[in-house]
Structure 1
């Protein structure tokens, strides 16, 4: 008998009524297999919100469910492992019958504990039945080194034995752990290698022989549990490893991964980041985010995953891009509030505020530690901007066919001109200062198609930053902002007041040496 998926439980309250209804018992894995098959046939969404895995992880996961396997998801941090695991209850029935007031969600047809058996023996077909909702059939434990067998499987309760005057040989004195209490459901253990090896051994019988041993008291319970695990790769975690017998008993090992394209990464960030800042009083500041900034943010993660400064075994979570986008919006929001503006566009200078989203979420190797976490973050942002910039503008790093487009802009700076772009500049002042750079507006108009005038000025600033990233303009960083100047003037000023230009021989200098 199939129980309809409704908001209220079925109207059957006794064992006899359940038998009369024709209800057929299925194990958890049989139940999940049947429900997955229906969803595949009808085309229902299986894992909504999980992006980038349609051709890799999800088909493997679906195959594992169809095969009635226990599963481990193996991957680096921030690869949606926990999200996927917590979506598995979608494949459970909406309601299942259990014997009322029994400790292990016992099926009325097949009670497990002494309490359940006595209930059926005493009341027969009048044994009380209640209905367990899908939401109550999922259990989860974060593996920690202090996790014990008693936590997971159970222990003898001496207080209960004393109060009931029972011997330690009596089944009733057992206090069951969280895995048996998730009988007829799904139990997940996150970060499995963090469990001590002797605790991992305790899971072996549950997975294969379906019995449990508590302090030498052998209790054979045919537990009906689907076990799901998550773990970082063994070569990353220094806290422990999976024991080989346990790995052997996990039927399917599924490898997760980071987004393979920036488009997928941006879609994930768009989905996860807090962007709608409206509250009960409405949005105070309308912050516009040009598409190119979303690309830059996503490219930061890709640059980090290839960086020589970052420990690639630890991974670079997609949480980096989520937090970075939120900080970018907040930086623009704050600036607008300071200037009494009700709308603004994010600027290149706002990218400096992404550093806190990066520094706390990456593990540095020795070279990165020497550079400093903040400098590594700024380096990644610069590399990302330089990569994305060339998709819209000529590559200023190419002497032939790219650099000529910026000749007028660079010429203006060689005349000794500078542009100061403090972070808290009002929109009017910001536009005025950028408009002073000869050839900059014309370049942006000819090479790109900004949606608005405000975005055009942002692209003008991006050109200056790209020229700096290609060592064609100098940039001085200050607490309140930054200024762009001729690369030669910037270099000379770095020598300090003791530098004498007369000592510098023009014949010995080649601009190309600094590009």
Structure 2
């Protein structure tokens, strides 16, 4: 009887080498184990990498092929593309428990002992050798490559303290203190950001990947390690900080390219899964458009001339931005003593800190400044999504003159009035201020007839922002919110009535930005 047919509870009752043999246990390499469990998942139609979205037809099939081929893997892609998540999920393809010689630091297989300790123990006790069971979570090791990583950290070195304690000469292999890689025997070992690893350290991996053994100083030591290696790398690292040395790259069997979400819907799904907003969402109600706008900001950033495309824009940006959005609305409700609130479009400006810390700017972006670039990205996202809900103002200008302009009534109101939308307005004040604008309610009702209540108010504010992005209104940033007014009056006030330079720049901020 193969031990693979035993349940986890039955396995744990086996406590000696003799009992393990009697149960029919046969050694199996970690790559064969991954392959066997992957085949079982595929045949059962179960997800292999649950929670990883957008890779169903690209990255995941490549990873599955690599595992079926028993390959070492390099996941190559920009930041925030789920490379490490995929590596960690491979643990689910390991058996729940495997037997090891009790007390072994190298996870020795009882039938194929590797370390001197395990060999000597089995020689002494035979079938009475005690065994223990190692859970799959303990068979995963991850190391971030940094310039200070040494060969001793990864492979091992002679330990003078151990030699002195055991009264052994340095020629005795028992004085060796093994590094992370030997201690990952029969498991998965992940090196993140491989190009950051110094070239001489990368060289030390040659023999392990090719022959499965290690070399430590002058010891005549051969340890046929059984390890599934997974590396991650960022293409930017190849030029900025280091590179993967060619012979090592040649020994990594499969290099798999990752990518950012290819659609807005996939991006939203990832953000919903990762964002830590459970408590905030008990107070805050959001809508689909808000989530679309958050993802659109990332799309605009990845295409922006101010953002370094080589660095990429991590999915962590949209996750942090979504969390900030919820917190912006939550804070407003708490300040106003309200038990619930509906998200507002102006809350979107509360995500600026999540953007400025997540994008790498090129020279032109540094000149503009991270805050201006972030504001610009929010504006572009609003402008793009606006066209999915309301008519394109630019196309209307090209139509025949006698055709009614649906925006005209709202513009006419602003020719004699202005609107201040402060960040912390109560729900009542927010509603009253939007409802004072002639034609705005009817405009939303005309083009989004199904919108009601809070959603309708949200779209009413959305119209104001969209009109500002298309230069139908002026939008000015105040210390505590936003001000909307007639664009022509705003420009004329700055040009003709002696406003100082700073005020003039604030009045037509949106005009300059475009």
Shared topology, TM-score over 0.5?
A: yes
When structure 1 is superposed on structure 2, of 183-192 and 166-175 the one drifting more is 166-175
Question: Are the structure 2 counterparts of residues 400 and 496 from structure 1 closer, same or farther at C-alpha, using a change threshold of 3 Å?
Answer: closer
Q: Does 1:462 align with 2:459?
A: no
CA RMSD of superposed structures (Å) = 2.0
The structure in which a higher percent of residues are helix is: 2
TM-score, normalised by the number of residues in structure 1 = 0.93
Structure 1 residue 185 displacement after superposition = 0.6
Question: Are the structure 2 counterparts of residues 425 and 7 from structure 1 closer, same or farther at C-alpha, using a change threshold of 3 Å?
Answer: farther
- After superposing on structure 2, the runs of 4+ consecutive aligned residues of structure 1 that deviate more than 4 Å are 234-237, 512-515
Contact 1:73 1:253 in 2 (8 A): yes
Partner of residue 309, structure 1: 306
Question: Are the structure 2 counterparts of residues 32 and 513 from structure 1 closer, same or farther at C-alpha, using a change threshold of 3 Å?
Answer: closer
Partners of 2:453 and 2:194 lie apart in 1 by 53
Q: Does 1:419 align with 2:419?
A: yes
Partners of 1:434 and 1:114 lie apart in 2 by 78
Q: Does 1:360 align with 2:360?
A: no
When structure 1 is superposed on structure 2, of 349-358 and 403-412 the one drifting more is 403-412
Q: Does 1:384 align with 2:385?
A: no
Partners of 1:165 and 1:194 lie apart in 2 by 39
Contact 2:356 2:374 in 1 (8 A): yes
TM-score, normalised by the number of residues in structure 2 = 0.93
Contact 1:397 1:403 in 2 (8 A): no
Residues matched between the structures, number: 497
Secondary structure at 1:420 match in 2: strand
Structure 1 residue 496 displacement after superposition = 6.2
Partner of residue 347, structure 2: 350
Partner of residue 192, structure 1: 194
Structure 1 residue 165 displacement after superposition = 2.6
Structure 1 residue 9 displacement after superposition = 4.5
Question: Are the structure 2 counterparts of residues 114 and 395 from structure 1 closer, same or farther at C-alpha, using a change threshold of 3 Å?
Answer: same
When structure 1 is superposed on structure 2, of 464-473 and 421-430 the one drifting more is 421-430
Partner of residue 400, structure 1: 398
Secondary structure at 1:404 match in 2: coil
Structure 1 residue 7 displacement after superposition = 6.0
Contact 2:38 2:93 in 1 (8 A): yes
Secondary structure at 2:215 match in 1: strand
Structure 2 counterpart of 1:329, from 323, 326, 331? 326
Secondary structure at 2:424 match in 1: coil
1:404-457 CA deviation, whole Å, 9 max, x = no partner? 22111112222x211111111111111111112111100001101454312211
When structure 1 is superposed on structure 2, of 230-239 and 357-366 the one drifting more is 230-239
Question: Are the structure 2 counterparts of residues 180 and 3 from structure 1 closer, same or farther at C-alpha, using a change threshold of 3 Å?
Answer: farther
Q: Does 1:50 align with 2:48?
A: no
Secondary structure at 2:232 match in 1: strand
Contact 1:183 1:225 in 2 (8 A): yes
Partners of 1:424 and 1:56 lie apart in 2 by 45
Partner of residue 208, structure 1: 210
1:67-106 CA deviation, whole Å, 9 max, x = no partner? 0011111111111111111111111111111111122111
Partner of residue 438, structure 1: 438
Structure 1 residue 11 displacement after superposition = 1.3
Partner of residue 448, structure 1: 448
Q: Does 1:86 align with 2:88?
A: yes
Q: Does 1:35 align with 2:33?
A: no
Structure 1 residue 163 displacement after superposition = 2.7
Q: Does 1:429 align with 2:429?
A: yes
Q: Counterparts in 2 of 1:162-201, with a 5 A limit?
A: 162-201=164-203
When structure 1 is superposed on structure 2, of 160-169 and 434-443 the one drifting more is 160-169
Secondary structure at 2:420 match in 1: strand
Structure 1 residue 372 displacement after superposition = 0.8
Structure 1 residue 481 displacement after superposition = 1.1
Partners of 1:133 and 1:365 lie apart in 2 by 47
Partners of 1:117 and 1:485 lie apart in 2 by 83
1:266-315 CA deviation, whole Å, 9 max, x = no partner? 1111111122216xxxx8x6211121111011000000000000001001
When structure 1 is superposed on structure 2, of 445-454 and 72-81 the one drifting more is 445-454
1:181-218 CA deviation, whole Å, 9 max, x = no partner? 11011111111111100001011111111221111323
Unaligned 5+ segments in structure 1 are: 500-511
Secondary structure at 1:374 match in 2: helix
Q: Does 1:139 align with 2:141?
A: yes
When structure 1 is superposed on structure 2, of 36-45 and 451-460 the one drifting more is 451-460
Partner of residue 507, structure 2: none
